[in-house]
Structure 1
């Protein structure tokens, strides 16, 4: 299996599945009002790829969808296991961590709250434990932890963009009773809120 980050091909796949136009005037109008055009999203994707492809985050085999519902904690046995490996593939280490942190805020439209996004102290502690296991060392250094923390903040953009585009595909094709376009708005609005600050760091 090629050790290439799956996420770029996956976003391109989702972009190619977006209809132009959408199947109803109502859907098309809502898409246009919220997102402009598919061309605008493609331009944003290319810019994001150009900047984030420079990352030094290692490519690892990752789950890529670690929302809290996919993490199973067995209190009696003191074990943690994961479920739902649909998106498991090679990807940037920092993407998998960033995506996990992004999912702390909730999934239900009425329940999403970015005040739940883990603070810097929590992320540092989490990354410290992760690196101790990943590198098989007792005490990761602060520069090691800070490097991963910075990469995670950058990859949070990629997580928001991926699931925003995914949700637009579902908006057109899914029969599930869920407000996919509203979820896309939430994820892509968050992307745009964070984008300029992070792009400035990367440029």
Structure 2
């Protein structure tokens, strides 16, 4: 069995540059990389735009002119993110998703990050993902990813519980009581409580027979890009992509309807919206896997039950 995503043999190699980009001053390093990737550009004319300045990574776009038709995105890994992100698996996932039309072109990697193409569109919000026209596109795109065969003949195995145990271990080893955020202490149950819940969920959810597929695993609204002009959505940020239970990926996305910084679980999709979403998803899965037959009410209901149980994780 396999838990790691495998790039098909014969896939083009991704260039690796021995360049380190200072996360506190990303522009000089980004320009060094652009000089290699776009040698015909006049470095003096290159403009930069900071897209994110978060704790997990920093993302800057480099381009010339005013149209932003060709933008090189330079993403710098955040400090200590290697503790919980498997960078090799992320790179493999990126390549596999691009080969199947689900991700932009990956230009290169460097010592503490990677460079890739920019996708034009807007990052969605919790209000957007409730709109039928948009959630139809999202459900279809997720079905496309879940239908990708990227295991080179091996039987894929979910790494959900391995990851969860790793995160639990990091909480207990990397954070002292003094370092813990007051808000987290107030709003999140103690670690021992979470560990008991996980111990209960693991055997229960593992027996639901949710298929193991290639998952995004972080489908929050801002990771969904919508291009209104061309009528598509694509997903970005593959740091957590891996083999996982189908129902987890969908349940995680439904949780994201409630927001991130200011969570409102009244926004969690109701049964009617979920049933529509899941039927669209299952129809797309059958289309991508070339399976005959109509999607039945029983198939939709079964997935509905699995998704809402896995959303607990």
Q: Is the 8 A contact 1:21 1:28 kept in 2?
A: no
Shift, 1:30, TM fit = 7.5
Q: Indicate how the Cα distance of structure 1 residues 9 and 145 shifts in structure 2: closer, same or farther if over 3 A, else same.
A: same
1:153 aligns with 2:308: yes
Shift, 1:41, TM fit = 2.6
1:121 aligns with 2:275: no
User: What is the 5 A alignment of 1:85-100?
Assistant: 85-100=238-253
Find the aligned partners of 2:246 and 2:227 in 1 and give their Cα distance.
25
Shift, 1:43, TM fit = 2.2
Q: Which residue of 1 aligns with 2:35?
A: none
Q: Deviations over 1:159-184 (max 9, x none)?
A: xxxxxxxxxxxxxxxxxxxxxxxxxx
Q: Deviations over 1:106-150 (max 9, x none)?
A: 1123xx211211111110011101000112257311001000001
User: With structure 2 as the length reference, what TM-score do the two structures score?
Assistant: 0.46
1:130 aligns with 2:303: no
Q: Indicate how the Cα distance of structure 1 residues 78 and 44 shifts in structure 2: closer, same or farther if over 3 A, else same.
A: same
| Deviation larger for 130-139 or 11-20 | 130-139
1:105 partner SS: coil
Structural RMSD (CA): 2.4
Find the aligned partners of 2:234 and 2:305 in 1 and give their Cα distance.
27
- Structure 1, unaligned stretches of length 5 or more? 159-203
Find the aligned partners of 2:172 and 2:300 in 1 and give their Cα distance.
42
1:49 aligns with 2:212: no
- Structure 2, unaligned stretches of length 5 or more? 4-155
User: With structure 1 as the length reference, what TM-score do the two structures score?
Assistant: 0.69
Higher helix share: 1
Find the aligned partners of 2:217 and 2:179 in 1 and give their Cα distance.
32
Find the aligned partners of 2:187 and 2:265 in 1 and give their Cα distance.
20
Find the aligned partners of 1:131 and 1:155 in 2 and give their Cα distance.
17
Aligned residues: 156
| Deviation larger for 99-108 or 17-26 | 17-26
Greater C-alpha radius of gyration: 2
Q: Which residue of 2 aligns with 1:142?
A: 297
| Deviation larger for 131-140 or 68-77 | 131-140
Find the aligned partners of 1:21 and 1:129 in 2 and give their Cα distance.
42
Q: Deviations over 1:51-106 (max 9, x none)?
A: 11111111110101101111111110011111000110011111111111100111
Matching residue within 12, 34, 39 for 2:192 = 39
Q: Is the 8 A contact 1:22 1:28 kept in 2?
A: no
1:64 partner SS: coil
Higher relative contact order (CA 8 A, sep 6+): 1
